[in-house]
Amino acid sequence: MKILHVVGARPNFMKIAPVMAAVARAGFAQQVLVHTGQHYDAAMSKVFFDDLGLPAPDVYLGVGSGSHATQTAKIMIELERVCLEAKPDLVMVVGDVNSTLAGALVAAKLVIPCAHLEAGLRSFDRGMPEEINRLVTDRVCEILLTPSQDGDAHLLREGVPASSIHRVGNVMVDSLLAHLPAAQQKRVTEAMGLTPGQYVVATLHRPSNVDDAETLPRIMRALATLAREAPVVFPVHPRTRARLADLKLLAEVDAAPGLRLCEPLGYLDFLSLFSRAKLLLTDSGGVQEETTALGIPCLTLRENTERPVTVDLGTNTLVGTDMDLMLREARRALAGQGKAGRVPDLWDGQAAERVAQVLKAWKERTQ
């Protein structure tokens, strides 16, 4: 059996690494790794392959940036050629980025079975490009691998046969738990002059936050206010840095006392940094999950989340772009009154093993 894995952005890398390792251990399939190049610079791509121990991609498409339509179309054109040459028995797509959608559509058009890792997540906000990617991907995939019960429920409500749905747990947590000991050996916190448990980490990259000329300055000024009370470390996504520069905010933000801007961090460095933080502020889906897995309070600067289990059971609180609410909740967390939560079922570091068993059983059933 030949499985062709399609990845393109750094959240994909964290999810596919443990799956490829588990499939290799099970020994039932040849694996081909295709990197679309959706994230292409060293800070957003290569360092993650190195940190996660991922093999070098068998195929690198190098599509780069562009509008959603342009990027998705480029990936489809190149990936169709790869699939016709490689003739995989199964295509695996991951998460909800444009590479995910493109991979699922190419597989469907070529009548190649497709598995979606992290299926069933819904924000119910069609203004998010990722929500469209999730909906379409789940409609054309035969094997739907869900991280939590709400994913199962969404797919069943949409008419997906129960036989196609497999709850495997959260593979991102597999990577987190596997690499946490190595990450905590790194001295990132000390190098930044920070005291463990007494600082905040912020990440920001969603278009709804960083592309809005009113929202981004409001968020940055709230971070500067919070930074007067506790250091706030802000690894700046390339997209966010460009918007700050466009709005002529970069110098102001960089000069704010206690607000520390830095370049994007590799996986191990970022894990080392945030695992010792008192609080995370984010608009990232993955960070919502990672903080819940580690029991760290998280404030999400979005009006909704496709990961409600992190709110219902975990440490996550949605604050939207209400910066007064964000500051109130942040001060509660800094005072030791942040949300405690618990770790959801099957977020146990064994999700990839369950994925491998599902794929092995599918092979035995169909080939």
CB 261 within 8 A of CB 254: yes
Tally Cβ neighbours within 10 Å of residue 162.
9
Q: What is the pLDDT of residue 132?
A: 97
Residue 339 within any structural domain of the chain = no
Instruction: Indicate if 205 belongs to the active site.
Output: yes
Q: Based on the fold, state whether residues 149 and 280 are members of the same structural domain.
A: no
Average pLDDT over residues 169-186: 96
Task: Please name every residue paired with 259 in a beta bridge, in sequence order, or none if there are none.
Answer: 232
pLDDT at 42 over 50: no
Residue 43 within any structural domain of the chain = yes
Q: Which of 39, 179, 205, 237 is catalytic?
A: 205
Average pLDDT over residues 22-47: 83
Average pLDDT over residues 195-206: 95
Residue 134's nearest CA partner among 173, 90, 91, 98 is 98
Q: What is the pLDDT of residue 46?
A: 76
- The dihedral through the CA atoms of 49, 208, 65, 33 has a sign that is positive
Q: Based on the fold, state whether residues 201 and 130 are members of the same structural domain.
A: no
Residue 156 within any structural domain of the chain = yes
Largest CA distance in the chain: 62
Choice among 21-25, 67-71, 114-118 with the minimum mean pLDDT:
67-71
* CATH number of the domain encompassing residue 321: 3.40.50.2000
Choice among 30-44, 65-79, 252-266, 332-346 with the minimum mean pLDDT:
30-44
Compute the distance between CA of residue 13 and CA of residue 174 in angstroms, rounded to an integer.
12
Residue 91: give the domain boundaries.
Answer: 2-169+347-366
Q: Based on the fold, state whether residues 141 and 32 are members of the same structural domain.
A: yes
Strand order, beta sheet including 2-7 = 59-60, 30-35, 2-7, 90-94, 114-117, 143-146, 165-167
pLDDT at 143 over 50: yes
Q: Based on the fold, state whether residues 219 and 358 are members of the same structural domain.
A: no
Residue 189 within any structural domain of the chain = yes
Residue 342 within any structural domain of the chain = no
Q: Based on the fold, state whether residues 14 and 125 are members of the same structural domain.
A: yes
Helical segments of the chain, H only: 10-26, 46-52, 68-86, 98-109, 129-140, 149-157, 171-185, 188-191, 207-210, 215-227, 238-246, 250-255, 267-274, 285-294, 309-312, 323-334, 351-366
H-helix or E-strand spanning residue 3: strand 2-7
Q: Based on the fold, state whether residues 151 and 9 are members of the same structural domain.
A: yes
Q: Based on the fold, state whether residues 128 and 17 are members of the same structural domain.
A: yes
pLDDT averaged over every residue in the chain: 94
Structurally, the chain folds into a number of domains equal to 2
Q: Based on the fold, state whether residues 156 and 211 are members of the same structural domain.
A: no
DSSP state of 270: H
Average pLDDT over residues 204-218: 92
Residue 218 within any structural domain of the chain = yes
Residue 340 within any structural domain of the chain = no
Residue 95 within any structural domain of the chain = yes
Q: Based on the fold, state whether residues 135 and 66 are members of the same structural domain.
A: yes
Alpha carbon distances (Å) from 148 to 140, 153, 201, 240, 321: 20, 9, 26, 31, 27
pLDDT at 44 over 60: no
Compute the distance between CA of residue 286 and CA of residue 152 in angstroms, rounded to an integer.
19
Compute the distance between CA of residue 201 and CA of residue 367 in angstroms, rounded to an integer.
48
Compute the distance between CA of residue 44 and CA of residue 64 in angstroms, rounded to an integer.
12
pLDDT at 40 over 60: no
The position carrying tokens 């924000």 is 123
Q: Based on the fold, state whether residues 192 and 152 are members of the same structural domain.
A: no
Q: Based on the fold, state whether residues 208 and 227 are members of the same structural domain.
A: yes
Compute the distance between CA of residue 122 and CA of residue 243 in angstroms, rounded to an integer.
28
Q: Based on the fold, state whether residues 124 and 199 are members of the same structural domain.
A: no
Average pLDDT over residues 236-253: 90
